[in-house]
Amino acid sequence: MNTPYLIPGLCLLLICTAGCSGLTDQTFTLPAGVSGPPLTALWEGVVEATGIDEESGMVSDFTLLRGGDGHIVQMELLFSGDVNGERRYFEASRRQSGTVTARSMTGLSPAGLRHPGRVFGDLEALGSNTSFWENDWSIHLKNIRGATYRSESSPVYLLENGTLVPLDWVSTAGAPSQVYYFSFCKTGIFDGSAASEQGGGATAFVGRGECSVIFTPEELEKTSYQKMDGGKDDLLSPS
């Protein structure tokens, strides 16, 4: 074997593995000084940075912790989408400087919340209700199957067209697949952001607080649920 020829060839292979396949990190900056969480800007940024087809995009995990003074403590996103006809998986995390780094991943779940651009836009629209974003709070995207949420235990909502529609209860017992929902909590957050710049993620503790469960229309269709419309309820089941 001719070693002098092997080493340059190996180096070229490593360069193409890191760069030609699109595995290099991509970084962009979120807008500063916005009153609500920059969710739409986050999604638009990762779509542009990764080159995924937006219509194929799905989010499998999302975490956002925000302090009462408006600063973001932690923002992380796991998502997937088609790139040139191939399904690709990514993660994105926000540094305390305001920059977001997106990188390619392997072995992530192929499932997720569909149409994240529209969903994040609806969440952002809740910012017109200033009391919704007051104090420390967190948003987590979760998934469940076989559980029931009742309004007497914690508020349950449908997120639709930028508004929250109260629900009496939601049951995922008969759902054909995992049901994705947002857990929104007013909490106390202890921020370790000063030491987080190196790794990009903040050290935070989310204490106990008032939490709400929020479903999107598409995910709610998988469940059985009952609305609360001024005392007139509708019982709906999965189609």
Give me the pLDDT at residue 204, please.
Answer: 36
In a 3-state reduction of DSSP, which class is residue 209?
coil
> 63 in a domain, yes or no?
yes
Task: Give the pLDDT of residue 5.
Answer: 42
In a domain, 19, yes or no: no
Q: Is residue 12 part of a domain?
A: no
DSSP string, 105-150: ESS--S--EE-HHHHHHHHHHGGGSGGGG-SSEEEEEEEESS-EEE
Rounded to two decimals, what is the model's pTM?
Answer: 0.79
According to the model, what pLDDT value does residue 85 have? 94
Is 113 inside a domain boundary?
Answer: yes
Please report the pLDDT score of residue 191 as a whole number: 47
Of 84-88, 93-97, 132-136, 167-171, the one with minimum mean pLDDT is 132-136
Residue 107 pLDDT level (bands cut at 50, 70, 90):
confident
Boundaries of domain holding 74: 25-236
Is residue 18 situated within a structural domain? no
User: What's the structural domain count of the chain?
Assistant: 1
Tell me if 208 is assigned to some domain. Answer: yes
pLDDT of the residue at 31: 86
Confidence of residue 6 (pLDDT cuts 50, 70, 90): very low
Q: Is residue 1 part of a domain?
A: no
183 near 142, Cβ under 8 Å? Answer: yes
Task: Please check whether residue 95 lies inside any domain of the structure.
Answer: yes
Q: Are 10 and 94 in contact (CB under 8 A)?
A: no
Q: How confident is the model at residue 236 (pLDDT cuts 50, 70, 90)?
A: low
Judge whether 83 and 22 are in contact, CB under 8 Å.
yes
* Beta-carbon contacts of residue 141 (< 8 Å; ≥ 6 apart): 59, 60, 61, 62, 63, 113, 180, 181, 182
When pLDDT is averaged across residues 198-219 and rounded to a whole number, the result is 65
Ramachandran region, residue 235 (left: φ > 0; alpha: ψ -120 to 50; beta: rest) = beta
Residue 188 is predicted with a pLDDT of 58
R_g over Cα of the chain: 20
